[in-house]
């Protein structure tokens, strides 16, 4: 246990199990970095090395969430974006819909004049606001920063002008919780109690999530924007140099991205693509996200059609998806 070192930052030689013992919220961090459970007594450095996770990025997030010093760790922006996108998926696809299901079961939502209906409507409006906010980050903000990390000038977004409005969204969730606790006088049941418990946990999770965006992602992204501000398309900057195999063509896709599109169209999974191209699964996943952002095509079937129309592969090579 590490309680006596509460003011010291976690370091690479600490055991991951000890971090989780200290702060159970770090289980969500482990999941969002796609680190599988069953890590035994391995150190953070050992586990991150095995799972192709940047150790400093993991430590920056873990220390920030745990209220420990985090400024001494250099974050890898593409991996931090991967982490934030995983968190968005958790909120939008899992926990918020789960809370909604509990609320429907727990309160009377049939009569439009009933307070239960109004509570559900309030929560639906909140979910819509969170969904729009996170989808904007997924579709505009994160692709913008990814392109900059690849050495590609991009003016689609300007982080200093981008208002995150996180405090307002947290406030609305707190308000809903208080309304139910203080003013919902109908009979209480186990499902409603669990729904409230989930709301409280999500509230804390969102606060941590937005702290990561405000204190890690935004400052690093703004610094990168400043570095790339005067870079012309023909120039390269060593930290963000694009290698010859990734030269970007007129269609906006690199040679590597076209290779991956071809393999997806042929029916290969990310692990098979990684093995074929001698890449990590994480790198393949990042490429696929970049491809989706550039083409606005997210399905394997859609990429297969694109590959045929643009002569990346012949129709005879396409897997029956």
Domain CATH number, residue 281:
3.40.50.2300
Residue 303 has pLDDT above 90, yes or no: no
Asked if residue 71 is part of any domain, the answer here is no
Asked if residue 124 is part of any domain, the answer here is yes
Kindly state the DSSP code that residue 248 receives in the 8-state scheme.
B
Asked if residue 234 is part of any domain, the answer here is no
**What whole-number distance in Å separates Cα of residue 19 and Cα of residue 59?**
10
Residue 234 has pLDDT above 60, yes or no: no
- Which carries the bigger pLDDT value, residue 297 or residue 125? 125
CA distances from 271 to 223, 288, 306 (A): 34, 12, 22
**What whole-number distance in Å separates Cα of residue 17 and Cα of residue 27?**
10
Asked if residue 237 is part of any domain, the answer here is no
CA distances from 186 to 100, 177, 192, 194 (A): 18, 15, 11, 16
pLDDT band at 95 (very low <50, low <70, confident <90, very high): very high
pTM over 0.75: no
DSSP 97-128: HHHHHHHHHHS--SSTTSHHHHHHHHHHHHHH
Residues 224 and 82 in one domain: yes
Residues 137 and 212 in one domain: yes
Domain count, the chain: 3
Which range of 35-44, 100-109, 168-177, 285-294 scores highest in mean pLDDT? It is: 35-44
pLDDT of the residue at 260:
92
Torsion over CA: 99, 128, 287, 78 (sign): negative
Residues 59 and 125 in one domain: no
Asked if residue 200 is part of any domain, the answer here is yes
Range of the domain at 82: 77-228
Q: Record the tokens describing residue 233, joined without a space.
A: 């398309």
Quickly count: other Cβ atoms within 10 Å of residue 272's Cβ.
Answer: 15
Residues 246 and 311 in one domain: yes
pLDDT band at 231 (very low <50, low <70, confident <90, very high): low
């Amino acid at each position: 246990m590490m309680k006596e070192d509460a003011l010291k930052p976690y370091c690479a030689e600490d055991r991951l199990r000890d971090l989780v013992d200290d702060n159970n919220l770090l289980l969500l961090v482990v999941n969002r970095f796609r680190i599988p459970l069953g890590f035994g007594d391995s150190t953070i450095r050992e586990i991150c090395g095995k799972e192709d996770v940047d150790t400093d990025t993991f430590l920056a997030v873990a220390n920030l969430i745990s209220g420990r010093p985090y400024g001494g760790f250099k974050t890898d922006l593409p991996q931090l974006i991967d982490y934030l996108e995983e968190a968005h998926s958790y909120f939008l696809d899992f926990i918020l819909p789960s809370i909604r299901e509990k609320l429907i079961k727990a309160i009377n939502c049939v009569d439009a004049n009933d307070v239960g209906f109004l509570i559900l409507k309030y929560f639906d409006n909140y979910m819509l606001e969170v969904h729009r906010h996170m989808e904007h980050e997924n579709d505009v903000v994160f692709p913008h920063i990814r392109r900059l990390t690849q050495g590609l000038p991009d003016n689609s977004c300007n982080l200093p002008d981008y208002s995150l409005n996180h405090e307002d969204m947290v406030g609305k969730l707190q308000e809903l919780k208080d309304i139910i606790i203080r003013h919902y006088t109908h009979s209480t049941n186990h499902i409603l109690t669990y729904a409230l418990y989930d709301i409280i946990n999500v509230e804390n999770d969102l606060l941590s999530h937005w702290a990561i965006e405000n204190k890690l992602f935004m400052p690093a992204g703004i610094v990168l924007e400043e570095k790339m501000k005067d870079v012309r398309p023909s120039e390269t900057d060593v930290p963000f140099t694009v290698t010859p195999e990734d030269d970007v063509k007129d269609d906006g896709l690199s040679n590597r991205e076209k290779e991956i599109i071809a393999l997806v169209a042929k029916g290969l999974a990310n692990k098979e693509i990684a093995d074929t191209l001698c890449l990590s699964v994480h790198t393949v996943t990042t490429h696929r996200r970049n491809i989706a952002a550039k083409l606005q095509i997210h399905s394997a079937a859609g990429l297969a059609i694109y590959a045929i129309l643009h002569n990346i592969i012949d129709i005879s090579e396409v897997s029956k998806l």
